[in-house]
Amino acid sequence: MTVLRSIWTWFSFGAILILWLPIIGFVRLFDRDPGRYRTGRWFRRMGSAITRANPVWHVTISGSYPENVRQPFVVVCNHQSLADIPVLSNLPWDMKWVTKASLFDLPVLGWMLKASGDIPVRRESLRSRAQVFIEAKKRLRNRISVLIMPEGTRSPNGKIQAFSDGPFKLAVREGVQVLPLAVDGTFSALPRKSWKFGRKCWIRLHVFDAVDPASLGDNAAELTEHVRRMIILKVAEWRGVTADEVDGARVEDENARPAGQDS
């Protein structure tokens, strides 16, 4: 049953992708906004449609949305699996994603990523990572939010890994607020190195109130840990566990500590 359901779901995803191609082409043709807001918004709608097409995903969104969708934020979120992408697309505004460059090379999907103005990154390239910040500044100055996953890659175990301070430095330098998101349930929704969708899963997405870097003295390191702690506490609340059980970086630190060393 799982195999048949997974085959049908992937078929549905492919059909939606093909259906959306002419839609994105048409919208992009008439989108004169330098930030390509309308094109990006229609692209996210495709992700929302993919979420609804999966019979085993049940998404609940909590929190409050920004009053002005064209107020630029640096949006940050924990990253559990590829399922995060369509799930976050259910949010009713556009934001440009910083995502791995290899996706831009894919047929159909890659063209839509380019058309919507998303930002490619090759994590192994220092030059590419530097270019990300140049491109992100352009989007922010065109009044478009930018979404960056500060863990850098998908969590290997569902816990919250260490955050890069890059997105937070960007927010400080550009004088924009950070909008934290927390997601949970996607780790089992689409497991790593598997194409099969499992049993029904309940996915939660929470939108926090924006955090002004000035409230923390424009200290990027302090801002990084503050926002990461917010996300850890929310995921721990959802799971009914302690924050330490969600903190993947803490586990790594303990494993790296020499034997016999007290905490």
Answer for the pair 77, 149: CB distance below 8 angstroms, yes or no. Answer: yes
Domain residues for the domain of 93 are: 2-255
The answer to the question of residue 218 being in a domain is yes
- Residue 216 CB contacts under 8 Å (≥ 6 apart), including other chains: 222, 223, 226
Answer for the pair 128, 99: CB distance below 8 angstroms, yes or no. Answer: no
Q: Which amino acid is at 133?
A: F
- Residue 77 CB contacts under 8 Å (≥ 6 apart), including other chains: 84, 88, 147, 149, 180, 181, 182, 183, 231
Domain count, the chain: 1
The answer to the question of residue 260 being in a domain is no
Give the C-alpha separation, 141 to 153, whole Å: 26
Give the C-alpha separation, 185 to 235, whole Å: 10
The pLDDT tens digits for 180-220 are 999 999 998 877 777 777 678 899 999 999 999 999 999 99
Give the C-alpha separation, 220 to 170, whole Å: 9
> Which CA distances in Å does 29 have to 21, 23, 44, 48?
12, 10, 17, 22
DSSP 185: S
pLDDT at position 259: 44
The answer to the question of residue 238 being in a domain is yes
- pTM summary value: 0.91
**CB atoms inside a 10 Å sphere around CB 183:** 25
Q: What is the largest CA-CA distance in the chain?
A: 66
Strand partners, 183: 205
Consecutive 10-residue averages of pLDDT for the chain (263 residues): 78 93 97 96 95 89 94 97 93 95 93 96 87 96 97 92 96 98 91 72 96 97 98 98 93 49 38
Tokens describing residue 70: 């064209």
Question: Is the C-alpha dihedral spanning 161, 46, 19, 23 positive or negative?
Answer: negative
The domain that holds 40 is classified in CATH as: 3.40.1130
The answer to the question of residue 262 being in a domain is no
The answer to the question of residue 207 being in a domain is yes
The answer to the question of residue 144 being in a domain is yes
Question: H or E stretch including 134?
Answer: helix 126-141
Angle at 162 between CA 133 and CA 89, to 5 degrees: 60
The answer to the question of residue 261 being in a domain is no
pLDDT at position 148: 97
Answer for the pair 257, 263: CB distance below 8 angstroms, yes or no. Answer: yes
Answer for the pair 83, 186: CB distance below 8 angstroms, yes or no. Answer: yes
